[in-house]
Amino acid sequence: MFGLGLPEMIVIAIIILLIFGAKRLPEIGKGLGKTAKEIKDISKEMKKGKEKKPKEGDEGAEPPEKDKGKETLLDDIKPVVKDLKEIKEKADKLRKWTRLLK
């Protein structure tokens, strides 16, 4: 893991313990765990989204519509924008936690 051995990990853990104290460590661990879980969930959702989209050469796939109106395009874009906003919020949370660890 990034070239860190057991002694280095122990030193890092002791430094974190001294900086944040024993009372805040469970909070920090819980927050990091939630963030990691959310990132994992987002990646799963994105993979599912990619799997659901049929390719043009696939049998049974509907031919792409050439005359899509603005409303249809906006309907297609809205879920993507929503996902991007969620990813941005998760990234902001992750940045917040990494700043706390510095």
Q: What is the pLDDT of residues 29-54, one digit of tens each?
A: 888 888 889 988 888 888 887 766 55
The residue type at 40: K
Domain that holds residue 76: 6-50+68-101
Tell me, yes or no, whether 63 lies in a domain: no
Tell me, yes or no, whether 21 lies in a domain: yes
Tell me, yes or no, whether 96 lies in a domain: yes
Give the pLDDT mean for 60-71.
Answer: 53
What does the alpha-carbon distance between residue 66 and residue 49 come to, in Å, rounded to a whole number?
A: 22
Asked if 20 and 28 count as a contact pair (C-beta separation under 8 A), the reply is yes
pLDDT at 97: 79
Tell me, yes or no, whether 60 lies in a domain: no
Q: Which of 33, 46, 24, 3 is nearest to 94 (CA)?
A: 33
Q: Which residue has the tokens 């990091």?
A: 32
| pLDDT of residue 1 exceeding 50 | no
Domains in the chain: how many in total?
Answer: 1
Instruction: Compare 90 and 76 and report the one with higher pLDDT.
Output: 90
Alpha-carbon 42 to chain mean position:
5
Tell me, yes or no, whether 44 lies in a domain: yes
Tell me, yes or no, whether 62 lies in a domain: no
